[in-house]
């Protein structure tokens, strides 16, 4: 309970294609504390390539997860991402925030390949204290339809959105909280999910290249099914480390190549722009980072050490978080929902 009995609790909801995840953070004391964690698997193909194919089923799964967490209020912080969200660092004439707000639509017009009428914009001046004639601005454009669909889905699950954030910012938020010392140099944050990898390359803590790569644990599972004749269940068990007798490491190395290429391209883009000699550190998160061999294969391929980032590294977790499995087991999957719940709604 906060002052005047008003609850200062934020619920972060991440609707992934593999799992729906909910993290509830209590902000009423000085440091944030996680008081609830709930996850629930989604039925195969309910979400494909970021698109919600079966809204009824997804809303039901969300409802189940929310009920498991015994959420007392219907308000959540949610997020959108994918092709219909563009994050871009741009340069524009130096001006104040208010003035920039008036001009941002016109500026965005030159950088965003969407119909400006149907787009929601947000921005942040990255160097407000700078003095040059130009300033760096992080521009965010999201198709309005994407946000409306997300709100409708939440409504179907009996929820309201306090805020609709952007996936990449939530990941950044959680990462910065647990790894404040990694806000220097070129750092890659690579969140490997079930279908999608959210990649964010930061330069001194500012996300300069933000991109989704169509790669996830599903890709490895399907390759196991196809090339080794495993059933979907068995292949999934192998991925989750529960079955021996399959040489996963070599198999994974080949599949991870595509992901490595995506990261290399982004890093090459940055070094071409601002010099330097490549990526300093790579942090992995997401369920896909848990697949045996993935972290090592990426490290070998990129020639950099990879670290598994734990979004709970510096966040207190309440003793009665009420989770059926060990917190450590789900932690890697929670980077995004933790980042959402860290916001004081």
Ligand X SMILES: Nc1ncnc2c1ncn2[C@@H]1O[C@H](COP(=O)(O)OP(=O)(O)OP(=O)(O)O)[C@@H](O)[C@H]1O
Contacting positions for Mg ion (CB under 5 A) = 16, 193
Q: Which is nearer to ligand X, 89 or 194 (CB)?
A: 194
Contacts 24+ apart (CB under 8 A), 51-60: 52/15, 52/149, 52/153, 55/152, 55/153, 55/156, 56/156, 58/15, 58/20, 58/153, 59/153, 59/156, 59/157, 60/157
Counting contacts by CB under 6 A, is residue 196 touching ligand X?
yes
Return the residues of window 121-150 that contact ligand X according to CB under 6 A: none
d(CA 15, CA 38): 12
Among 12, 32, 207, 216, contact with ligand X (rule: CB under 6 A):
216
- How many angstroms separate the CA atoms of 198 and 191, rounded? 5
The nearest distance, CB 136 to ligand X, in angstroms, is 29
CA atoms within 13 A on the CB side of 19: 23
Q: Which residues touch 342 (CB under 8 Å, ≥6 apart)?
A: 10, 12, 25, 32, 173, 174, 177, 315
Stretch that binds ligand X, among 12-20, 100-108, 145-153, 224-232 (CB under 6 A): 12-20
End-to-end CA separation in angstroms for the chain: 15
Residue 173 contacts which entry, Mg ion, ligand X, none (Cβ below 5-8 A, type-dependent): none
Binding segment for ligand X (CB under 6 A), chosen from 10-18, 26-34, 202-210, 300-308, is 10-18
Give me the 58-97 binding string for ligand X, x by CB under 6 A, dash otherwise. ----------------------------------------
Whole-number Å distance between alpha carbons of 273 and 189? 19
Site map (CB under 6 A) of ligand X, residues 301-340, x = contact: --------------------------------x-------
Closest distance to ligand X from the beta carbon of 229 (Å): 19
Among 288, 293, 311, 339, binds ligand X (CB under 6 A): 288
By CB under 6 A, residue 293 contacts ligand X? no
Tell me the H-state helices in 69-143: 97-109
Count of residues that interact with ligand X, criterion CB under 6 A: 20
Q: Which is nearer to ligand X, 205 or 292 (CB)?
A: 292
Sheet with strand 9-15: strands edge to edge? 160-166, 75-80, 9-15, 19-26, 33-41, 316-317
Tokens describing residue 144? 């309005």
Query: Does residue 291 interact with ligand X by CB under 6 A?
Result: yes
- Which of 16/262 has CB closer to Mg ion? 16
Residues that bind ligand X (CB under 6 A): 16-19, 193-196, 216-217, 236, 239-241, 286-288, 290-291, 333
């Amino acid at each position: 309970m906060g002052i005047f009995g008003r609850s200062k609790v934020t619920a972060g909801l991440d609707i992934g294609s593999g799992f729906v995840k909910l993290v509830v953070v209590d902000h009423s004391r000085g440091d944030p504390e996680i008081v609830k964690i709930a996850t629930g698997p989604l039925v195969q193909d309910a979400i494909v390539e970021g698109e919600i194919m079966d809204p009824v089923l997804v809303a039901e799964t969300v409802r189940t997860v929310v009920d498991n967490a015994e959420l007392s209020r219907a308000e959540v912080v949610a997020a959108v991402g994918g092709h219909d969200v563009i994050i871009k660092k741009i340069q524009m004439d130096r001006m104040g925030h208010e003035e920039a707000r008036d001009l941002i639509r016109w500026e965005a017009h030159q950088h965003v390949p969407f119909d400006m009428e149907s787009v929601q914009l947000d921005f942040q001046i990255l160097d407000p204290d700078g003095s040059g004639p130009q300033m760096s601005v992080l521009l965010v454009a999201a198709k309005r339809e994407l946000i409306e669909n997300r709100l409708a889905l939440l409504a179907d699950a009996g929820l309201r959105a306090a805020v609709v954030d952007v996936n990449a910012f939530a990941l950044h938020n959680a990462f910065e909280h647990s790894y404040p010392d990694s806000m220097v140099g070129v750092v890659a944050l690579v969140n490997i999910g079930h279908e999608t990898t959210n990649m964010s390359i930061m330069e001194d803590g500012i996300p300069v290249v933000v991109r989704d790569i169509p790669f996830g644990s599903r890709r490895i599972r399907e390759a196991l099914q196809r090339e080794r004749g495993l059933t979907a269940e068995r292949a999934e068990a192998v991925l989750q480390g529960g079955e021996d007798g399959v040489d996963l490491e070599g198999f994974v190395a080949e599949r991870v190549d595509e992901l490595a290429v995506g990261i290399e391209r982004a890093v090459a883009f940055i070094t071409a722009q601002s010099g330097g000699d490549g990526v300093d550190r790579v942090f992995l998160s997401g369920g896909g980072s848990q697949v045996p061999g993935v972290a090592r294969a990426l490290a070998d391929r990129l020639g950099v050490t990879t670290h598994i980032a734990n979004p709970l590294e510096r966040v207190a977790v309440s003793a009665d978080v009420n989770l059926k499995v060990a917190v450590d087991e789900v932690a890697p999957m929670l980077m995004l929902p933790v980042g959402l719940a860290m916001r004081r709604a």
